[in-house]
């Protein structure tokens, strides 16, 4: 099973949210912690 690499720098990403606003992981650097949840469908 592929596993965790803890304590490494997390790769940055940029995507638009569902309202079209650009969101980058790096927006939060030195400001907030971020929990990214990878979801498998809503239904």
CA 23 distance to own-chain centroid: 9
Distance in angstroms (rounded) separating the CA atoms of residues 43 and 36: 19
Q: Min. distance of Cβ 19 from other proteins in angstroms?
A: 7
Q: Min. distance of Cβ 27 from other proteins in angstroms?
A: 9
Interface with other proteins (CB under 8 A): 1-13, 15-20, 23, 25-26, 28-42
CB 15 within 8 A of CB 23: yes
Q: Min. distance of Cβ 34 from other proteins in angstroms?
A: 5
């Amino acid at each position: 099973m592929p596993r965790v690499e803890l304590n490494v720098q997390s790769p940055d990403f940029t995507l638009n949210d569902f309202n079209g606003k650009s969101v980058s992981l790096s927006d939060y650097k030195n400001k907030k912690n971020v929990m990214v949840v990878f979801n498998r469908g809503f239904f």
